[in-house]
Amino acid sequence: MNRVISPANPLEAAHVTMRFGGLKALSDFNLVMRPGELVGLIGPNGAGKTTAFNALTGVYVPSEGEVLVAGARVNGEKPHQICARGVARTFQNIRLFKELSALDNVRIACHAGASSGFFDALFLTSHHRAEEGRILARAEEYLAVMGLAHRAGEIAKNLPYGEQRRLEIARALATGPKVLCLDEPAAGMNAAEKIELMRLIRGVRDSFGIAILVIEHDMRLVMGVSERLLVLDHGVTIAEGKPEAIRKDPKVIEAYLGDAYLEEKKIAVPEGRVRGEGGDA
Ligand X SMILES: Nc1ncnc2c1ncn2[C@@H]1O[C@H](COP(=O)(O)OP(=O)(O)OP(=O)(O)O)[C@@H](O)[C@H]1O
Closest distance of CB 96 from ligand X, Å: 20
* From 39-47, 100-108, 157-165, 205-213, span contacting ligand X (CB under 6 A): 39-47
| Residues 66 and 13 sit within 8 Å (Cβ to Cβ) | yes
Q: How does DSSP assign 135-203, residue by residue?
A: HHHHHHHHHHHTT-GGGTTSBGGGS-HHHHHHHHHHHHHTT--SEEEEESTTTT--HHHHHHHHHHHHH
Closest distance of CB 54 from ligand X, Å: 7
* From 18-26, 127-135, 193-201, 251-259, span contacting ligand X (CB under 6 A): 18-26
Distance in angstroms (rounded) separating the CA atoms of residues 248 and 241:
11
Q: Report the residue number, 18 or 174, with the smaller CB distance to ligand X.
A: 18
Q: Report the residue number, 37 or 233, with the smaller CB distance to ligand X.
A: 233
Site for ligand X, residues 50 to 69, rule: CB under 6 A = 50-51
Which residue of 3, 6, 20, 73 would you call a contact of ligand X, by CB under 6 A? Answer: 20
Residue 48 in the binding site for ligand X (CB under 6 A): yes
Q: Report the residue number, 139 or 215, with the smaller CB distance to ligand X.
A: 215
C-alpha to C-alpha distances, 128 to 12, 115, 139, 178, 189, nearest whole angstrom:
36, 9, 16, 25, 39
Angle at 25 between CA 164 and CA 262, to 5 degrees: 80
Which residue of 10, 12, 49, 91 would you call a contact of ligand X, by CB under 6 A? Answer: 49
Closest distance of CB 20 from ligand X, Å: 3
| Residue 241 one-letter amino acid | G
Which residue of 2, 45, 93, 126 would you call a contact of ligand X, by CB under 6 A? Answer: 45
C-alpha to C-alpha distances, 3 to 9, 10, 13, 34, 228, nearest whole angstrom:
13, 15, 11, 14, 19
The side-by-side arrangement of strands in the sheet containing 11-20 is 23-33, 11-20, 64-69, 72-73
Closest distance of CB 92 from ligand X, Å: 6
Closest distance of CB 238 from ligand X, Å: 13
**What is the CA 240 to chain-centroid distance, rounded?**
17
Which residue of 5, 23, 137, 144 would you call a contact of ligand X, by CB under 6 A? Answer: 23
Residue 47 in the binding site for ligand X (CB under 6 A): yes
* From 46-54, 102-110, 146-154, 251-259, span contacting ligand X (CB under 6 A): 46-54
Is residue 30 classed as helix, strand or coil in its secondary structure? strand
* Binding residues for ligand X (CB under 6 A): 20, 23, 25, 43, 45-51
